[in-house]
Amino acid sequence: MWGLTLGTALVTGVASGMGQATAAMFLERGWRVIGLDSCPDAGLDHPHLTPVTVDVRDGAAVTDAIAGAMSEVATGLIDAVVNVAGVYPPTTLATYTDDDFRVIFDVNVLGILHVTRASVDHMGPGSAIVNFASVDAFTVSPGQLLYGASKAAVVMLTKALALELAPRRIRVNGIAPGWVDTPGNAATGRMAEAAATIPLGRVAQSAEIAEWVWILTGSGQAGFVDGETIVISGADVMR
């Protein structure tokens, strides 16, 4: 059984990048974290972290995994759900395949639905959900045909879920990062080139994105913000 903590957050995609930074942020602030990832190594070691290996595309497995993890939570409640897990293989009209479509939409869109549906019965009034979209939901990124479409879907899901869950006083918001210094983005070899085009002259750090998760969930500063997706791009993309 975990010791006393200030809240419970469920975070997906904790094995790297922004998901890992978000989990670390909650842990540093005294929260317990249930960390979901398809990779068995969460990359974090903390007494208040429960790593759960699960594929968010499998709705039944997600439901069972969350129920099992919640059996160890004294309060029985999740205070924040953060849907970070995502994939972004490049696609164009000429190169996409049916498998590309299924993988991208099943992880980026269906995964959010699975995790949200499995979590809401463990959430109470005042809790919050944050979905990770992308600036590609609002602007066209060449070579990201299906990824951009999936993230546009996340923005609409965020609005629809906010309206549906508002009577339960569960808020749902989104974050749409631009270029962020993550292992996945670093592997593209394009971050220096991208930074040169960003008005603020740099890419974001994962910890900066995690701070916005805190603002929208645990800080108490955004209690009347619901159904919005906040763009974090250094003025690269504005809407």
Contact 56, 38 (CB under 8 A): yes
SS3 for 56?
A: coil
> Residue 83: enclosing H or E segment and its boundaries?
strand 78-83
Q: 58-102, pLDDT tens digit by residue?
A: 999 999 999 999 998 888 999 999 999 999 999 999 999 999 999
Contact 50, 88 (CB under 8 A): no
For the four alpha carbons of 194, 195, 201 and 203, in that order, the dihedral sign comes to positive
What does the pLDDT average to over 211-227?
Answer: 96
How big is the chain by its Cα radius of gyration, in Å?
17
pLDDT recorded at residue 18: 97
Q: 26-67, pLDDT tens digit by residue?
A: 999 999 999 999 998 878 999 999 999 999 999 999 999 999
Q: 171-195, pLDDT tens digit by residue?
A: 999 999 999 998 888 877 888 888 9
- Degrees to nearest 5, angle at CA 195 with 190 and 199: 150
- Band (pLDDT 50/70/90 cuts) for residue 239 is confident
Residue of 26, 132, 147, 212 marked active site: 147
pLDDT recorded at residue 1: 41
Level-2 CATH architecture, domain 8-232: 3-Layer(aba) Sandwich (3.40)
pLDDT recorded at residue 10: 98
The residue assigned the tokens 């959900």 is 129
pLDDT recorded at residue 2: 46
* Token pair for 93: 């009209």
Residue 132, phi then psi, degrees to nearest 5: -90, 115
Look up 96 and say whether it is catalytic: no
Specify the DSSP class assigned to residue 174: E
pLDDT recorded at residue 175: 98
Closest CA to 34 of 4, 79, 93, 3: 79
- Band (pLDDT 50/70/90 cuts) for residue 4 is low
Q: 9-36, pLDDT tens digit by residue?
A: 999 999 999 999 999 999 999 999 999 9
